[in-house]
């Protein structure tokens, strides 16, 4: 394995990025770095950056590229990221991708995986999703915990987020196409992009990603 195995995982909301990153993080012993987790951790830690994030979120605004970049940079300074990381939700824009190159330096991104899933499928997945407000655990609307409204892991409230409503889903997917899809060309031009069919069983998706990693001699 190289000094740092830095993998970027892209895909529409609901494509299964979180599921695959958790699996691969265990396989390669590198952390799953999720933008959402970083934001929540910063707010919980009440750090200087965390207070900035909290103020932005309380105002109902979007966290700026500059602030997200600072948080990601700080995350890569933590000991567990010494061997690399699986990036989920970052970069979202070309500006963030360029900043990531600066943060990683010579180590750089080793591979960018694009999980291809039809819009109809991700819309159905997101519409049925329920999330624990406390720990972020994800359920489906048919799960007992989702029906009861109580998280089986921490006892927190399980809700349907406002951005998982149909109109919000449509807007999020439009935003993805506008801001994040150009990243595919960014990584393709660097010879780092591999597309994986995300409309398969989770084990098959994981296997396809691992094959791509091994074919490039990254692990």
- CA gap 37, 165 in Å, rounded: 22
Instruction: Say which of 22, 40, 83, 92 is annotated catalytic.
Output: 92
Q: 139-161 burial string, b = 16+ CB within 10 Å, else e?
A: beeeeebbeeeebeeeebebebe
What is the chain's Cα-based Rg? 17
- CA gap 15, 12 in Å, rounded: 5
Q: Is 44 a catalytic residue?
A: no
Reported as half-sphere exposure (CB side, CA atoms, 13 A), residue 123 has a value of 11
Q: Is 172 a catalytic residue?
A: yes
Q: Is 22 a catalytic residue?
A: no
Instruction: Say which of 4, 23, 110, 172 is annotated catalytic.
Output: 172
* Measured CA distances, 151 to 22, 131, 163, 192 (Å): 19, 9, 20, 39
Instruction: Say which of 161, 171, 190, 216 is annotated catalytic.
Output: 161
- Residue keyed to tokens 């069983």: 201
Instruction: Say which of 12, 23, 110, 129 is annotated catalytic.
Output: 129
Q: Using CA atoms in the order 59, 64, 66, 70, what is the torsion angle rounded to 10 degrees?
A: 70
Residue 95 burial (CB count, 10 A): 14
Instruction: Say which of 17, 23, 70, 125 is annotated catalytic.
Output: 17
Tokens of 140: 């489906």
Q: Is 51 a catalytic residue?
A: no
Q: Is 4 a catalytic residue?
A: no
Catalytic residue numbers read 17, 92, 129, 161, 172
């Amino acid at each position: 394995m190289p000094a740092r195995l830095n993998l970027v995982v892209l895909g529409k909301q609901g494509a299964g990025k979180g599921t695959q990153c958790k699996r691969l993080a265990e396989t390669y012993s590198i952390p799953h770095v999720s933008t959402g987790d970083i934001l929540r951790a910063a707010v919980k830690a009440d750090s200087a950056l965390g207070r900035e994030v909290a103020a932005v979120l309380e105002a109902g605004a979007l966290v700026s590229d500059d602030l997200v970049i600072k948080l990601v940079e700080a995350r890569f300074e933590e000991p567990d990221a010494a061997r690399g990381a699986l990036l989920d939700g970052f970069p979202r824009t070309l500006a963030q991708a360029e900043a990531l190159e600066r943060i990683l330096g010579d180590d750089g991104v080793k591979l960018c995986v694009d999980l291809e899933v039809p819009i109809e499928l991700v819309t159905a997945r997101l519409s049925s999703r329920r999330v624990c407000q406390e720990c972020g655990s994800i359920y489906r609307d048919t799960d007992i915990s989702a029906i009861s409204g109580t998280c089986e892991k921490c006892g927190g409230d399980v809700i349907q987020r406002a951005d998982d409503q149909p109109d919000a889903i449509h807007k999020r997917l439009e935003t993805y196409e506008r801001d994040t899809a150009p990243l595919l060309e960014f990584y393709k031009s660097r010879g780092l992009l591999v597309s994986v069919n995300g409309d398969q069983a989770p084990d098959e998706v994981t296997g396809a990603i691992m094959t791509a990693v091994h074919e490039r001699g990254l692990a």
